[in-house]
Amino acid sequence: MSLRLELENHEPQGYYYPGQEIRGNVIFQLPKQRKIASASITFRGKIDTEHIESRRSTAGNTHGPRARAHEVMRLFEYSHSLFQGPFDVPPQTFSWPFTFTIPKHVEQRRIGNKSPGFIPDGIAPLPPSFTWEDHTFTHDARARIKYKLVAYVDSGGLFKNEETELAVPIYRYTRVPPPIPQILKHEFFPSQCWSSRDLRNQPHTLKQKLKHITSSDPELKTPCIAFKAYVHFPLQLAPHQKTAIAFSILHHRVTPNDPESPDLVLDALRLNLKSHTAMTAARSGFGPSFSLMGDRYCEGRNPEAGKTLSFAPARLSLTGEEVYLSNDVCLADWRQGGLPYMGDFETYTIKSAHVMKVEVGGYTVGDESIRT
């Protein structure tokens, strides 16, 4: 006997979208006569979060049970009957067709737990398939969103029942074109400051060097180049959208002997996309290790993709004028042939967002490089 699932409209990229139909067949091969009571197909989705504390962090008890918080939230469950008996069936091969429509919205509501989640109770967009884990010295945590088809053949007894399942990866997608990216200004922290004795017009005499140690005279301070740096990039960007990126600085003098108009050139810029995930799980159990009530919370950041921009050395204006480095930054180009970006989403127990970290590879002042 064998039981398997075959999809007719299997997507080449492997992902399905909310609102899309899933069509297929349940194939059941029966090599000899046997009794069949019923057969069914179920399409379900659920959110599963779990937080397990290390023994060392559980009330100082290194040998007792680990405090565990585990929560499962059912998003939806649809079932179709494929066969209804009971009948004694001769050897043959069954092919039962089925069709399901992936919902666009589902109701998210905690059962038996009144603690607030990341979103309020009610109807919310269907989240994408998702897997995240975080392992530290104090805890093990995981968060999953899974969708699957489950076929079941019931023989009417305790044994000889057949079950098989097939994962259905779901990716959030909309046919509505995303808005044109709006370039916004973001400041670097901390502010940039580079000091060097080489910036002095004339080297200090021995007397000035000795006085520099004990004096607060600003004329004797080591000159520096100080400025605020800004990157100009959208706050919202779809993976296949192309956008421009610009850079600017605003120079200011800290001491009277700082250079008035240094010649600054930007050498390199790297963009790193990171996902920021937060999860919560309801705590349950008994005993001293479970004395602390309430949900368990965990968060972490994981690298998604990165790219060092290619551009000619860019001479920077000291008055804050933007210097465009590229006009075709596209996140989809950073990840070739891999999984698609899941995008930002929120459920009752999982929240996932993305942050972009911008790193300056270095500046050049005259003939000297500044590493930051």
Residue type, 237: L
How distant is the alpha carbon of residue 213 from its chain centre?
51
Looking at residue 82, its pLDDT comes to 92
Looking at residue 27, its pLDDT comes to 92
Cβ-in-10-Å burial (0-12, 13-18, 19+) of 218 comes to exposed
β-bridge pairing 192-195 and 139-154:
unpaired
In the predicted model, what is the mean pLDDT of residues 82-111? 88
Among the residue ranges 19-33, 91-105, 209-223, the one predicted with the least confidence is: 209-223
Q: What mean pLDDT, rounded, does the chain reach?
A: 82
In the predicted model, what is the mean pLDDT of residues 9-36? 85
In the predicted model, what is the mean pLDDT of residues 119-144? 89
**306 φ, ψ to 5°?**
-155, 160
Q: Please, are residues 364 and 313 in contact by the beta-carbon 8 Å criterion?
A: yes
Looking at residue 138, its pLDDT comes to 80
pLDDT confidence band for 66 (50 / 70 / 90): low
Among the residue ranges 6-15, 45-54, 257-266, the one predicted with the least confidence is: 6-15
pLDDT at 44 over 70: yes
Angle at 345 between CA 236 and CA 167, to 5 degrees: 125
Nearest to 287 by CA among 57, 66, 113, 56: 66
How distant is the alpha carbon of residue 228 from its chain centre?
30
Task: Supply 356's token pair.
Answer: 């972009």
Higher pLDDT, 214 or 20: 20
pLDDT at 372 over 70: no
pLDDT at 231 over 70: yes
Global confidence as pTM: 0.78
Looking at residue 292, its pLDDT comes to 45
Q: What is the dihedral of CA 232, 235, 239, 244, to 10 degrees?
A: -20
What are the pLDDT digits (tens) for 147-193? 999 999 888 776 778 889 999 999 876 667 778 888 999 998 877 77
pLDDT confidence band for 9 (50 / 70 / 90): confident
pLDDT at 233 over 90: yes
| Protein fold of 2-167 | Immunoglobulin-like (2.60.40)
Q: Please, are residues 269 and 235 in contact by the beta-carbon 8 Å criterion?
A: no
Among the residue ranges 4-8, 27-31, 220-224, 254-258, the one predicted with the least confidence is: 220-224
* Cα four-point dihedral sign 234, 239, 242, 246: positive
Looking at residue 291, its pLDDT comes to 38
